[in-house]
Amino acid sequence: MVGETLKFWLMIAWLLPLAGFVVEIFFGFYSKNPRHSKAAAWCAVGCIGIGFLCSANALRIWGNANEWCVLEAAEHGDPGDTQADAGHHETDSAEHQTAYSGVIYTLGVFGSLEVTLDYYIDSLTLVMFTMVTLIATCIHVFAIGYMSDELTDEYVDHSAHTSDGGHVHRPGRFYRFFAFMSLFCFAMLGLVLAGNIFQVFIFWELVGICSFLLIGFYTERKTASDAANKAFIMNRIGDFGFLIGLMVLWTFFGTFRFGDTVVDEQVVDQGLFSMVHRDGTGNVARDEVTGDVLITDTHGHVLTNEDGSNRQIPYYLLVVIGLGIFAGCVGKSAQFPLQTWLPDAMEGPTPVSALVHSATMVAAGVYLAGRFFPMFVQEVLLTIAYTGCITLFLAATIAMVATDIKKVLAYSTISQLGYMMLGIGVFGWAAGLFHLITHAFFKSLMFLCSGSVIYGCHHEQEMPKMGGLLWKMPITAFTMLVGVCAISGFWLPFGLHFSGFHSKDAIVASALAFIHANPAHFMLFLIPLLTAGITAFYMFRMWFYTFVGKPRDQHVHDHAHESPWVMTVPLLILAAFAWFCAYGGESGHLYLMLTGDEPSHLAADVTAATAGGINLPGHAAIHAVHDDAGRWALIAALSGALIAYVLYGTNVVNVEEIKRQLGGVHGFLANKWYFDDLYDALFMKPAHKVAAFCAWFDGAVFDRILHGAAKSMIVVSKWDRVFDETVVDGFVNLIASATQSVGASLRVVQTGRLRQYVMFIVLGVVALFAVMFTTFPG
């Protein structure tokens, strides 16, 4: 019953933006005055706002139905107990069911295989729904102000040039922006609600196309359309792996569903998550002879084929599934080595960067990695951890030298996504997703602040032209400071810590516990720790660069102004959430809700060596090192912030001098580790070479063949004409002339004399009789 109610509310929240999209796009086409009306914006805000209320209501219903069991359990006893309890609640579905799944709509049935639209609702789904709808509502409201200069019949795009050197003039596209945003919200919520991996893939592509449309919103700018293409193509590379994973899944498991469909406490359709059974040490159940992984039913009994043999999947294919799905996540979450598209995606309008490219869509990769966690084996998790680790360091170093305010935030996003991936990879499942939620709040906040700055500075994005804007736009500056402190992970007395403090600590603690259990992987702790300092450094650098110091461009400074209330109110709301959403840390509501539906095998404590030679740190192990890790991370963050203050907040040190002295390193970082150039040399140039060769081959070989064929065809047709005129025509003419001469000779007989005809008839009859009697005598 609860499942049905939850489904009802979430379906409303999910489908309203779709309805909004349809209304807005047709409104844009058919209304009399679409270029000057804000109706589309209010429609979008209404849809997503109601969606937020529905989501929050669903969250409340879920909590009441489960008597907030997870939270209550946490209040007495240490987190280790909590986890054991929560795991118990999840497995004991009859008593305290926390995850609900079922079918929404059947797309097709192929024998015993079904393709359906399902829903899978657990605490992660609900938290994601509430987070996405809340942030999207704030961003929609913000965008009403930010996009207001599109409310015109003649928008002059100063960044796009026509062939004669002038600026591009075009009608404003206000309504279209909000239509795309609504479509994106629909797709994103569908992705979160999805109850099977194929459905996830559908919405995965749908958010991809929305991202494409929104990055290329200023399509007249070559940079924007290039960036849109780049984002789309880079994502295709990852999705290729995703598809391979899907195919292997379909072949061996025969279902895409996540959870079991339970009707009257009977499992009707078994989902993927219960098919791979794990023992107390987190190992998957394997055949003793072949080493293949056994596919089990809900209670851990091995399923059998029709011929009585055990159903099993080779271990390496389970790794392929994991790596394939993770490849999709790498593309979507802009992880190494597919990270280059996200900074370019900043060509889109800033609200898009805030919603799509920081808070929600790019986090979908992390969400999927978390959602699909029960299917990941140790090798895959280690890959995830190292990918995240490389990404977070690489992006953070580039962010140190970026000068475009949005590029800094973009690289910061990549880096933070790397943290989340690392968290998931080192068995800190809840830590990674915890950081996903907190990061969504403070990063969307910072993007909106940067949008406010850009709006206030009349579309100036280069930080070297800003400076001293603190009292020109105080609300923006101070909300931005909240975001900066949150991402740096600052500690405050009385438990008023910034949300990033809790979530980043959780990840660093998981990493520390992981390297305690597996000392060989010590880089997985050191690099995130170092990067925590770098994060604080580049974030404070950005803040000081933008808001304090002397104005570096007097023109920009003179015209800068605080944004209108539609833009500042969302900033204040998001700032409150960015600060306090993780209130209470690991005994706070958010974290405990997330851990409530943690994959059950994570609850185990430090265990024996598993297949990949990896030891699993349990919750108790993580908790034991939590204070240490927190202290280290805080020291790193404070020193990073301090360095930033010295370099950019005071005039003690000449930054340009340092930049010149470290010219090599700076150049290396400013060129983004030469990744774009590397890909250019590795893929683009060869592709161009191949294309040039193909063009040459086309001209030299195919065209020649075609021309030769055409020429020979002309010769043949000439000969054919001769044949036609002599033989065919001659034959036809012969028949005609023969007919004519026969007619001419018969004409003589046609005298017109009736009596003669009668004579002919008589003679004919007599002749017939004569013939008849001679032929058939008697």
Binding site for another protein (CB under 8 A): 746-747, 750-755, 758-759, 762
- Taking the least distance from each CB to another protein, the nearer of 726 and 750 is 750
- Taking the least distance from each CB to another protein, the nearer of 716 and 762 is 762
Q: Which of 403, 392, 401, 343 is nearest to 664 (CA)?
A: 401
Which amino acid is residue 522, in one-letter code?
Answer: F
CB of 771 to another protein, least distance (A): 19
For 513, residues 6+ apart whose C-beta sits below 8 A from its C-beta are: 426, 617, 621, 622, 624, 625
How far is 552 from 464, CA to CA, in rounded Å? 7
Given a contact cutoff of 8 angstroms between Cβ atoms, the answer to whether 146 and 350 are in contact is yes
CB of 746 to another protein, least distance (A): 8
Which amino acid is residue 642, in one-letter code?
Answer: L
Structure tokens at 313: 């999947």
Q: Where are the alpha helices (DSSP H) in 698-728?
A: 703-723
How far is 323 from 302, CA to CA, in rounded Å? 25
CB of 735 to another protein, least distance (A): 21
CB of 736 to another protein, least distance (A): 19
CB of 726 to another protein, least distance (A): 33
CB of 763 to another protein, least distance (A): 10
CB of 762 to another protein, least distance (A): 5
Distance, first Cα to last Cα, the chain = 102
CB of 725 to another protein, least distance (A): 33
- Taking the least distance from each CB to another protein, the nearer of 665 and 766 is 766
- Taking the least distance from each CB to another protein, the nearer of 300 and 743 is 743
- Taking the least distance from each CB to another protein, the nearer of 263 and 746 is 746
How far is 578 from 576, CA to CA, in rounded Å? 6
User: H/E element holding 398?
Assistant: helix 378-401
CB of 773 to another protein, least distance (A): 15
How far is 722 from 729, CA to CA, in rounded Å? 10
Which amino acid is residue 33, in one-letter code?
Answer: N
Q: Which residue has the tokens 């030469």?
A: 674
| DSSP line for 443-492 | HHHHHHHHHHHHHHTTS--BGGG----TTTSHHHHHHHHHHHHHHHT---
Residue 462's φ and ψ, nearest 5 degrees, are -80, 120
CB of 733 to another protein, least distance (A): 23
For 764, residues 6+ apart whose C-beta sits below 8 A from its C-beta are: none
- Taking the least distance from each CB to another protein, the nearer of 674 and 773 is 773
- Taking the least distance from each CB to another protein, the nearer of 758 and 770 is 758
Which amino acid is residue 558, in one-letter code?
Answer: D
Chain-centroid distance of CA 441 in Å reads 18
CB of 745 to another protein, least distance (A): 11
CB of 768 to another protein, least distance (A): 14
- Taking the least distance from each CB to another protein, the nearer of 662 and 762 is 762
Kind of pairing between the strands at 167-170 and 155-161:
antiparallel
CB of 744 to another protein, least distance (A): 9
Phi-psi region of 402 (alpha: psi -120 to 50; beta: other; left: phi over 0): beta
Report the b/e string of 744-763 with b at 16+ CB within 10 A: eeeeeeeeeeeeeeeeeeee
CB of 713 to another protein, least distance (A): 49
- Taking the least distance from each CB to another protein, the nearer of 696 and 773 is 773
Largest Cα separation within the chain, whole Å, is 142
Residue 160's φ and ψ, nearest 5 degrees, are -115, 135
- Taking the least distance from each CB to another protein, the nearer of 687 and 759 is 759
Kind of pairing between the strands at 100-110 and 113-121:
antiparallel
How far is 19 from 179, CA to CA, in rounded Å? 10
- Taking the least distance from each CB to another protein, the nearer of 263 and 748 is 748
Given a contact cutoff of 8 angstroms between Cβ atoms, the answer to whether 441 and 395 are in contact is no
- Taking the least distance from each CB to another protein, the nearer of 32 and 753 is 753
- Taking the least distance from each CB to another protein, the nearer of 652 and 754 is 754
How far is 610 from 514, CA to CA, in rounded Å? 13
- Taking the least distance from each CB to another protein, the nearer of 717 and 750 is 750
CB of 752 to another protein, least distance (A): 3
Given a contact cutoff of 8 angstroms between Cβ atoms, the answer to whether 270 and 101 are in contact is no
- Taking the least distance from each CB to another protein, the nearer of 76 and 747 is 747
Structure tokens at 134: 């809340």
CB of 748 to another protein, least distance (A): 8
CB of 718 to another protein, least distance (A): 44
Alpha-carbon separation of residue 348 from 149, 221, 358, 490, 623 (angstroms): 15, 10, 12, 31, 42
- Taking the least distance from each CB to another protein, the nearer of 565 and 769 is 769
Q: Which of 598, 616, 599, 594 is nearest to 607 (CA)?
A: 616
- Taking the least distance from each CB to another protein, the nearer of 550 and 747 is 747
- Taking the least distance from each CB to another protein, the nearer of 722 and 754 is 754
Burial category of 737 from C-beta neighbours within 10 Å (exposed 0-12, middle 13-18, buried 19 and up): exposed
How far is 340 from 41, CA to CA, in rounded Å? 32
User: H/E element holding 158?
Assistant: strand 155-161
Q: What single-letter DSSP state applies at residue 334? A: T
For 444, residues 6+ apart whose C-beta sits below 8 A from its C-beta are: 135, 138, 139, 354, 355, 358, 359, 574
CB of 720 to another protein, least distance (A): 41
For residue 106, list its beta bridge partners. 116
